[in-house]
Amino acid sequence: MMIYLVLITVTLISSATCEKLCLYCDHVPIPQDCSRVVRCGAHEDCYVEKFVTPDGYKYYSLGCRDIDKCSGVSAIGKRSSGSLVLRDNLPVEEANDNGDTSFCRACCNGKTICNVDNLCGSPEPNTYGGHICFHCAQVEHPGKCNQITLCGQGQSCKVVQYINRFSKRPNYSSGCEERDECSLLNDSTECCDSDFCNDNLPCKVRLNDNPVLSIPYINQEGDVEFNCTFRSSTSRLDVMYKVSWTVDGHPLKNRNGIDEVTLLSSYEHVAILDAYNLNGNLNKMLRCKVEPQCSIGDPLPGSHSNGYWVGIKISPQRISHTVEQNITLVSTLPVISSDGLHKLYIGPQIEST
Ligand SMILES: *[C@@H]1O[C@H](CO)[C@@H](O)[C@H](O)[C@H]1NC(C)=O
Ligand SMILES: *[C@@H]1O[C@H](CO)[C@@H](O)[C@H](O)[C@H]1NC(C)=O
Ligand SMILES: *[C@@H]1O[C@H](CO)[C@@H](O)[C@H](O)[C@H]1NC(C)=O
Ligand SMILES: *[C@@H]1O[C@H](CO)[C@@H](O)[C@H](O)[C@H]1NC(C)=O
């Protein structure tokens, strides 16, 4: 009896937990007036500091602060609302370089832009039932947007991809969109309905059906080739199709011993395999596999084509020793014999039973 042990390692990756998003402003009358954010390091917390000028004007500064600087004063404790931890929220009296006096500092973590959250006497934020969304005109990656906005009730967060006409490089804009409009959009645009959700554009490219592996044909140069053809409908221009080949389910290695892979651009839908690369793989089932990949977003599962058995079929399979018989050999690959040097040698192995 055989026992197979299967170990499955699950790695949970969450971009939300490894990046702390904090409000990032200097000299704002109240933290809610700050619409700029910053992604803080692993060893940093969000902070808010309240100052007063010599003439009595009060303002806030917000951003990231090293955890060590935050924990100078022992932790105050957890708020009942959840994960917010105040490490330091004590009144401090300290003169600043510019003569302003800092009279409250607070650090927090565990919640996105927690430094707007009722610290140092700032008012409790109210989103009036709207989502807080990233709001940028043109960024290289939606996750690099550092402006936020409060969208209205009935609005979703949106991210749109544009392809630069000359460089062909994508750039992104983000903001609010009416929920009704969102249903009409193509897959270069994504709407989502939670705070800060529009920092990515999921790759939703799907093949219309499984790729089709053609029968082998002889091209104009006299080489034997296979076509792997697929159909895909997407409005995205930043998609690439990775086409690989398998023989009996194993990746096909090319002449250099590396996996034979063709990368196709968004407008190419045929990959060609030169049968020369099948060297050493006779009598096996050939398939192609197509995996769409976008320039951002998680990779997608691939689709496999039909199989084509590459080899030489012998019939009948059982040959009598005593009776004269005709044996038929059929090669499923075209046999090219344009000159006498290239001969096909076939040595059937006779096994007696
Ligand atoms: C972003 O794309 C838009 C639309 O194609 C273009 O007008 C703009 O110049 C691009 N911006 C950058 C920084 O590439
Ligand atoms: C294979 O693909 C090439 C390139 O798209 C095309 O010209 C050719 O007609 C195809 N041949 C077959 C047999 O599918
Ligand atoms: C996708 O939709 C957006 C928004 O409606 C539009 O600006 C863009 O041109 C569309 N892209 C394609 C390739 O249809
Ligand atoms: C084998 O094939 C040849 C040519 O087609 C035919 O003349 C002969 O009768 C066949 N022999 C047998 C045993 O079927």
DSSP 83: S
Instruction: Name the helix (H) or strand (E) containing 178.
Output: strand 170-178
CA distance 69 to 59: 21
What is 132-192's CATH topology?
A: CD59 (2.10.60)
pTM: 0.74
Instruction: Name the helix (H) or strand (E) containing 182.
Output: helix 179-182
Helix (H, G, I), strand (E, B) or coil at 68: helix
Render pLDDT for 48-65 as a digit per residue (tens, 0 to 9).
Answer: 999 999 999 999 999 999
Asked if 241 contacts 229 with a C-beta cutoff of 8 angstroms, the reply is no
Residue whose structure tokens are 């969450």: 14
CA distance 322 to 299: 60
The length of the chain is 353
Query: At residue 174, does pLDDT exceed 90?
Result: yes
Q: Which of 319, 325, 326 to probe ligand 4 with, by most ligand atoms within 8 A of CB?
A: 326
| Half-sphere exposure (Cβ direction) of 26: Cα atoms closer than 13 Å | 1
pLDDT at 171: 93
Render pLDDT for 263-303 as a digit per residue (tens, 0 to 9).
Answer: 999 999 999 999 989 988 989 999 999 999 999 888 788 99
Render pLDDT for 17-43 as a digit per residue (tens, 0 to 9).
Answer: 457 899 999 999 999 999 999 999 999
| 207-310: CATH class | mainly beta
Render pLDDT for 215-243 as a digit per residue (tens, 0 to 9).
Answer: 999 999 989 999 999 999 888 889 999 99
pLDDT at 6: 35
Residue 147 token pair: 């402006």
Query: How close is the Cα of 162 to the center of ligand 2, in Å?
Result: 32
DSSP 121: T
Neighbours of 299 (CB within 10 A): 11
Q: Same CATH fold, 207-310 and 20-72+90-116? A: no
pLDDT at 343: 55
Q: Answer positive or negative: Cα dihedral of 144, 149, 153, 158.
A: negative
Give the confidence band of 318 by pLDDT, cuts at 50, 70, 90.
Answer: confident
Q: Is 162 in the pocket of ligand 1 (CB under 6 A)?
A: yes
Render pLDDT for 191-207 as a digit per residue (tens, 0 to 9).
Answer: 999 999 999 999 989 89
Residue 282 Cα to chain centre, angstroms:
37
Query: At residue 15, does pLDDT exceed 60?
Result: no
One DSSP character per residue, 126-161 reads --TTPPEEE-EEEESSGGG--BEEEPPTTEEEEEEE
pLDDT at 190: 93
Give the confidence band of 314 by pLDDT, cuts at 50, 70, 90.
Answer: confident
pLDDT at 32: 92
Query: Which protein residues are within 6 Å of ligand 2, measured from CB?
Result: 214, 217, 227, 270
Query: How close is the Cα of 210 to the center of ligand 3, in Å?
Result: 26
Averaged pLDDT of the chain: 84
Which residues 6+ apart lie within 8 Å of 115 measured at CB?
A: 22, 23, 31, 46, 47, 48, 62, 63, 106, 108
Q: Can you tell me the mean pLDDT for 155-182? A: 93
Give the confidence band of 342 by pLDDT, cuts at 50, 70, 90.
Answer: low
pLDDT at 271: 97
Four-point Cα dihedral 342, 348, 349, 352, nearest 10 = -170
Q: Is 325 in the pocket of ligand 4 (CB under 6 A)?
A: yes
pLDDT at 352: 59
Q: Is 188 in the pocket of ligand 3 (CB under 6 A)?
A: yes
Q: Can you tell me the mean pLDDT for 132-145? A: 95
CA distance 292 to 230: 11
Residue boundaries of the structural domains of the chain: 20-72+90-116, 132-192, 207-310
Of the candidates 122, 123, 145, 120, which has an alpha carbon nearest to the alpha carbon of residue 132?
A: 145
Q: What is the CATH number of domain 20-72+90-116?
A: 2.10.60
Q: In degrees, to the nearest 5, what angle opens at C-alpha 59 toward C-alphas 57 and 60? A: 165
Residue 193 Cα to chain centre, angstroms:
19
Residue whose structure tokens are 């009935």: 154
Render pLDDT for 82-120 as a digit per residue (tens, 0 to 9).
Answer: 334 454 455 566 666 678 888 888 999 888 999 998 888
Q: Is 324 in the pocket of ligand 4 (CB under 6 A)?
A: yes
DSSP 69: H
CA distance 102 to 99: 10
First-to-final CA distance of the chain? 30
Residue 297 token pair: 């977003």
